[in-house]
Amino acid sequence: MAIFFDESKKIFKLDTSSTTYAFAVHEGGYMFHLYYGAYLPDNNLLPLLYRGGFCSFHPNYPQYINNEISPDITPSEYSCYGTGDFRLSALQIKNADGNISTDIRYVSHRILKDKPALTGLPSLRSDTGDSETLEVTARDNATGAVVKLYYTVYLNLPVMTRSVIVENTSENAMDLERVFSTCLELPTMDYDMVHLYGQWFKERTVTERPLAHGIQTVASKRGSSSHNHNPFVALKQHGTTEENGSVYGINLIYSGNFSIDIEVDGRNTTRLIAGINPTDFTWHLEPGESFVSPEAVMVYTDKGIGEMSRIFHRTYMKHLIKSPWRDIERPVLINSWEAAYFDFDDDKLVEFAHEAAKMGVDMLVMDDGWFGVRNLDNCSLGDWYVNEKKLKGGLGKLIERVNAEGLKFGIWYEPEMISPDSDLYRAHPDWCLHVPGRDNSPARLQYVLDMSREDVRDNIFNQMYEVLANNKIDYVKWDFNRNLTEVGSALLPANRQKEIMHRFVLGTYDLMNRFVTAFPNILFENCSGGGGRFDAGMLYYSPQIWCSDNTDPIERLTIQFGTSMCYPVSTFGAHVSANSRASIQTRANVAMCGTFGYELDPRKLTDEEKALVREQIKDYRKYSKFVREGDLYRLIAPTDDPFRCAWQFVSPDKKETMVTSVIMRRPETAFYVLRLRGLDPNTLYKDSDTGEVYSGALLMNAGINLTDKVYNDGDSIVKYFTAE
């Protein structure tokens, strides 16, 4: 049994394969957090509650007459606002009289042998027998709010999930003003906060800093998870490395406004909450209505931040991504965007296909510019009908011609957007997000459709369905090229306008779910100006996401290393492009750490380059399975070494490994020894290039000497070993 309740001590103990999470129910129904960390065989944890004496400024719990426990210093299992806990609040409810004091007490619990799905939201899945779920029902007696806390633990992974459902059981309306998905208490501040920041063209750079007294936050209020911050944070104990040390990882399965807040109080204790950003959020609950929070995924390991990443990778590959493409080789595609931008017609695309086919490419993707009257980015979004002046034989004829060259066919969409210069906008100007009396702020010459509206979603679905159902399309690139402004809906009343940010995300999920259900064999790739919506919510519907519009391989090193902190390599949309300071071979070696494809005009390649592409695609087919299914080891981070970067894939059975190193700039010395990781020390491994045989122990402890030439800027090395 993974979840255990000690009736005498009123302690819940939740065990995964190597971790324990525990909290207690005390007199009066208060729920106090006890422990989260490495596995514990016992549950004698109540002494951990005491955090020293307190003064008159610390309020008492009404049920307690002693001065040992105060809501202001005691570790809360799910913190509430306004009743004595002055630290970060996970829950805040405004009741019918306008009061916002919130206080939930334990009522009952159930232990479930299955993991319930979250209505309208993506979440981790479970297979029969591999997880258990604890449902704790609590109640705020003053407001009639019933709060259900959900905890799922996985038996074979050190992973747990948290989510919350709030139901209004009273006779009066109430407003949720804060409803975070998880609250975690830690007894010290001895941690470095690791998170991923960036901007367009420079997403998910790893940064870290020691926790400080006060509040530190990673958040988005842009309507999407954004280029700027990712809904992921790790707390690693000081001194923790890739290979050793304690680390907690938290990731939200959510694609909208989020906030991960960490507060260190005057007693040097730490509280973390993660969930929907309360800025611009209020959810109105009429009697009988309920609200479901997004799911938070929590990982703990004492084996370093690299192992934390691998746990996330294994979890998402097994329990999050549900596309049939998760487990099969992805097609090598060539995308028309950097090759042609808007300047293409059917003949040019067929020429691309003809040349690409000779090199072994599997699929041609027609990017932006095929619909409406779109020849620039200033019109036609929302008009999803074929521009037959550009595709003169129609879409079906073009696909026939591309298929005749031996290639599959993919297409680009931006379903959540609308151009002011479009038939759809002229017919339905109220269908975009807008605020009465204010001008809309265009970005990229486009507005955002009100995805909270079912009629809007139906229109887009019907238009796209007509194209996808009547043409042989194997791939869809789903783009999202601006953030949300003037967030108002023509259909919602005034007291529900602050629900729109979240309703927008729910509407997008609904539309995506309709498409993946209707077309289960289409490969969907998400995109948002590159990696502006690279999050676990999107991965639930699409098994890969375009990692960044920046395809320069040296820049991609930082982007891909950062993305790998939480997300599997098989989800990284990564292509070889034409414009780069590095050789085409290095571009391919970096793109191999991803889905692999091309973003260039194949007609312009030299014969030598075409021969290299043929070999690159052969290598991709050779290595793709164990890159997709294997473990990633970040050997040298591009932010830790001014000259070199290196990473390694190890197959699940440890019988093969591939090591890649990129020379970002010429080092001051040619001497270079690289130590590998993750191998069986007692297994012998053969170097496929030289035929030399080394023990795993030697490769990991002494390393492999790569001092065989003078490396120049942009060079790269790939070594492949197989067990003897």
**Same structural domain, 291 and 395:** no
pTM of the model: 0.98
**Same structural domain, 655 and 615:** no
Give the rounded percent of residues in the chain with a pLDDT score beyond 90.
95
**Same structural domain, 120 and 184:** yes
Res 242 pLDDT > 80: yes
Nearest Cα to Cα of residue 696 among 645, 644, 633, 639: 633
Query: Average model confidence (pLDDT) for the chain?
Result: 96
Cα distance between residue 416 and residue 447, in whole Å: 9
Among 564, 597, 629, residue at a domain's last position: 629
Instruction: Report the CATH number at residue 403.
Output: 3.20.20.70
Among 319, 350, 365, residue at a domain's last position: 319
Q: What are phi and psi for residue 528, nearest 5 degrees?
A: -155, 85
Q: Virtual CA dihedral for 166, 167, 168, 170, nearest 10 degrees? A: -120
Instruction: Report the CATH number at residue 145.
Output: 2.70.98.60
**Same structural domain, 586 and 529:** yes
The answer to whether 24 touches 136, Cβ cutoff 8 Å, is no
Cα distance between residue 692 and residue 484, in whole Å: 57
How many Cβ atoms sit within 10 Å of the Cβ of residue 27?
10
Domain coverage including residue 695: 635-723
Q: What are phi and psi for residue 614, nearest 5 degrees?
A: -60, -40
**Same structural domain, 53 and 191:** yes
Res 464 pLDDT > 80: yes
**Same structural domain, 621 and 639:** no
**Same structural domain, 38 and 62:** yes
**Same structural domain, 584 and 691:** no
The answer to whether 151 touches 20, Cβ cutoff 8 Å, is no
Tell whether the torsion through CA atoms of 49, 53, 57 and 62 is positive or negative. Answer: positive
pLDDT in tens, 604-617: 999 999 999 999 99
DSSP for 135-190 reads EEEEEETTTTEEEEEEEEEESSSSEEEEEEEEEE-SSS-EEEEEEEEEEEEES---
The pLDDT score that the predictor gives to residue 253 is 99
Among 604, 629, 654, residue at a domain's last position: 629
**Same structural domain, 138 and 10:** yes
State both tokens at 669: 């010395």
Q: Indicate the number of domains in the chain.
A: 3
Res 258 pLDDT > 70: yes
Q: Which residues are catalytic?
A: 479, 549
Cβ partners under 8 Å of residue 355, min gap 6: 602, 603, 605, 610
Instruction: Report the CATH number at residue 702.
Output: 2.60.40.1180
Q: How confident is the model at residue 63 (pLDDT cuts 50, 70, 90)?
A: low
pLDDT in tens, 301-322: 999 999 999 999 999 999 999 9
**Same structural domain, 30 and 162:** yes
The pLDDT score that the predictor gives to residue 317 is 97
Cβ partners under 8 Å of residue 427, min gap 6: none
Res 65 pLDDT > 60: no
**Same structural domain, 109 and 204:** yes
Helices (H) and strands (E) in the chain, counts: 12, 39
Cα distance between residue 658 and residue 631, in whole Å: 11
**Same structural domain, 351 and 391:** yes
Cα distance between residue 132 and residue 129, in whole Å: 8
How many Cβ atoms sit within 10 Å of the Cβ of residue 697?
14
pLDDT in tens, 678-707: 999 999 999 999 999 999 999 999 999 999
